[in-house]
Amino acid sequence: MLSETLNRLRAGLAGTPYEGKVYLVGGYVRDKLLGRPLPSDIDLVLEGDALVLAQFLYERGIADHHPVTYPRFGTAMVHVGDTLVELVTARAESYHDASRKPQEVRPATLRADALRRDFTVNTLLENLHTGEIVDPLGVGLTDLQAKILRTPRDPHETFYEDPLRMLRAVRFAVQLGFTIDPTTYQAILEQADRLAIVSIERIQTEFTRLMDLPQAAAGLQMLLDTRLLHQFGQPLLPMVGCTQNEYHLYDVWGHSLKTVEQVNPEGLDMPAWELRLAALLHDVGKPATRTVDAQGEVHFYEHDRVGAQIAADWLRFLRYSNATIERVVTLVKLHMRPGFYTPEWKDSAVRRLIRDAGELLEPLLRLVEADIKAQRHDVPHADLAALRARIQQVQAVQSPQKWRSPLTGEQIMQRFGLKPCPLVGQIKTYLEEQVIEGNLAPDDVEGAWQLAERYLQHKQ
């Protein structure tokens, strides 16, 4: 626990030259003063060598492992219990135009260190031993109370040094419910294109943190308004102003944000930010597929298929993991299916939906529920409560684990003298479809051989 970590640090440094000279800084102090949940890690700063302090903590048995050090930046990282502790030498920095990595790092005072930080509300210090709150710039507490986000220096300088801070401004604004100072906001507008020098991995990490917030939709709109989204989210931009049919009150962008706002990720196995990503991207294929028929009706034929490909390409560009891409793309690809549900669906259609969604069935239903809530309420929609009841009914009759081919690929190859090839998979898929349709029992091996032979004859 965090309190145990702080007690270990206080006790371990008491009576040493470090007592009273080490300060908590950043999110911990800010969130504590705001009465918010505290972060899982902490930052410590001192006017001295943080690398020497980290080694001192290790040698005294306070840190659980030898410190990981970054001498160029004067920082070190250790674990104290379950808490990650970053130790920072109070420093000043200078930067090169084409890079966000500091060109020169030098030791400095706590005030100078505060000036290099991103926002005044993150410059507040708490003395590790006395608990005294120190406001080195004299404006951090005032801004915190006023719920204002402003940079410690001219915002053009602060953002020029590390353009990722512009994304952090958006995240903090929606996460904390703060207002971005007008001068700071104007600097974001003027320097948005400098985000290009930031690695896509850092952008993805910050974007993910935003998408993990319940207020992600407001953050997305702010990214659009500041043109930060234009720097890394180009595939999303055609949704803005793309008008829809009579089922919708908003353009595709507005509808997508409403879906992000409405989606409920509580209790799911997948991360909340992944489900919100799927909500953001579920209609990303609409602009590319928009058509208007002779009667003036707007259509988006196959936008789910096209959108799945756009989503996959963009998520790869952002360097998301293959597992995340597969989950989000599957939800985008399937999001139209439950919306077509009617009581006339055969059990085989319900079984097919359960099979195709797999472990994403509940996230898919949550996505479609949010999609419907983001549309007009005075037009007919699929009864998802009835679909849920049908799903339970179908699953109660037979476990989805049994909806597979009675024959393995190995058996099929041996019986028909086939080598590994697409035809083997096609036979297995055909047999699985027969099981789902109810034409073949999952344990009917003999019947499966007969069907496989007929299928093979037809193929030949």
State the DSSP string of 35-49: TPPPPSEEEEEESS-
Domain 1-143 classified CATH 3.40.640.10? no
**Residue 251: predicted pLDDT:** 95
Instruction: Tell me the torsion sign for CA atoms 290, 361, 375, 178.
Output: negative
**Residue 101: predicted pLDDT:** 58
**DSSP secondary-structure letter at 23?**
E
**Residue 402: predicted pLDDT:** 76
pLDDT, tens digit (0-9, with 9 covering 90-100), for 376-424? 888 888 899 999 999 999 998 877 777 788 888 888 898 888 888 888 8
Structure tokens at 4: 């145990």
pLDDT value at 15 more than 60: yes
> What is the C-alpha to C-alpha distance for residues 247 and 140, in angstroms, rounded to an integer?
48
Q: Is 328 exposed, middle or buried (0-12, 13-18, 19+ CB in 10 A)?
A: buried
**Residue 119: predicted pLDDT:** 98
Contact 163, 202 (CB under 8 A): no
Question: pTM for the whole thing?
Answer: 0.89
**Residue 340: predicted pLDDT:** 92
Nearest to 184 by CA among 171, 201, 165: 165
> What is the C-alpha to C-alpha distance for residues 302 and 105, in angstroms, rounded to an integer?
54
* Beta strand residue intervals within 269-410, DSSP E: 290-292, 298-300
pLDDT value at 370 more than 50: yes
Where are the alpha helices (H) located in 212-265, listed in sequence order? 216-225, 229-232, 252-262
Nearest to 401 by CA among 452, 373, 345, 442: 442
Q: By three-state DSSP, how is residue 85 classified?
A: strand
Q: How confident is the model at residue 453 (pLDDT cuts 50, 70, 90)?
A: confident
Q: What is the mean pLDDT of the chain?
A: 92
What is the CATH code for 147-232? Answer: 1.10.110.30
CB atoms within 10 A of CB 55: 17
Of 105-109, 253-257, 297-301, the range with the highest mean pLDDT is 253-257
**Residue 428: predicted pLDDT:** 85
**Residue 95: predicted pLDDT:** 47
pLDDT value at 374 more than 80: yes
- The string over 368-406, giving b where at least 16 C-beta atoms fall within 10 Å of a residue's C-beta and e elsewhere, is bbbbbebbeeeeebeebeebbebbeebeeeeeeeebebb
**Where is 106: in which H helix or E strand?**
strand 102-107
User: What stretch(es) of the chain map to CATH 3.30.460.10?
Assistant: 1-143
Q: Is 365 exposed, middle or buried (0-12, 13-18, 19+ CB in 10 A)?
A: middle
Nearest to 184 by CA among 109, 248, 120, 272: 120
pLDDT value at 103 more than 60: no
Contact 30, 124 (CB under 8 A): yes
- The fraction of the chain above a pLDDT of 70, given in percent, is 97
Contact 176, 34 (CB under 8 A): yes
User: What stretch(es) of the chain map to CATH 1.10.110.30?
Assistant: 147-232
